Amino acid sequence: MQIQETILVIFVFIIMLLIGLIMFYRANVESIKNEEFKDRLIKFYDMTSYFPNLPEVKCSSLSQESECIDVLKVLALANSNVEKDFIADNITVFVIYPEAVNKECSRASLSDCNTFKLHANKPKNIKSVYRTSTLVSLYYPEEEKHKVGRLVLEMYT
């Protein structure tokens, strides 16, 4: 009789230990997922400051850089087939001054458009959207003019 009680106590103890280990594992995995999401969110919001300074879009002339975005480089980046590794799922630049026709920009209609879509990766299932934007100076090298634009970054979860 005492052996059966001892075996039953050991069995109950092992079951409780396994339940505790499973709960600890799940809590640990959830904590890691939360930290990963927080890190991704911080990188996303930091992207508003470092995206305009990327060499792929930044204005430069004779190796002199200025604080603006070159629209020809933006069009080249948008039309390239290179896999873009951005934190943001959607990157759009809007021309806000002077006002222009509400249409997407292309090489042919560069002067009378207001939307540059650089990166679009919208998932089918969206739980929430994080959006940030900043004002940028847009440089049109063919006209040698500057316009005011808004860089909009979106991240879907």
Report phi then psi at 147, rounded to 5: -130, 160
Residue 74 falls inside a structural domain:
yes
Residue with tokens 């009378």: 112
Residue 133 falls inside a structural domain:
yes
Position 128 pLDDT exceeds 80: yes
Position 88 pLDDT exceeds 70: yes
Residue 1 falls inside a structural domain:
no
**Distance separating alpha carbons of residues 155 and 59, to the nearest angstrom:** 26
| pLDDT score at 54 | 86
Residue 4 falls inside a structural domain:
no
- pTM greater than the 0.85 cutoff: no
Bigger pLDDT: 100 vs 7: 7
Residue 13 falls inside a structural domain:
no
**Distance separating alpha carbons of residues 86 and 78, to the nearest angstrom:** 13
Query: What percent of the chain lies above the pLDDT cut of 70?
Result: 97
Residue 129 falls inside a structural domain:
yes
Residue with tokens 């222009």: 100
Residue 10 falls inside a structural domain:
no
Position 83 pLDDT exceeds 70: no
| pLDDT score at 84 | 66
What is the per-residue pLDDT across 136-147, written as a single tens digit (0 to 9) for each?
A: 999 988 888 899
- What is the number of structural domains in the chain? 1
* Domain extent at residue 50: 36-156
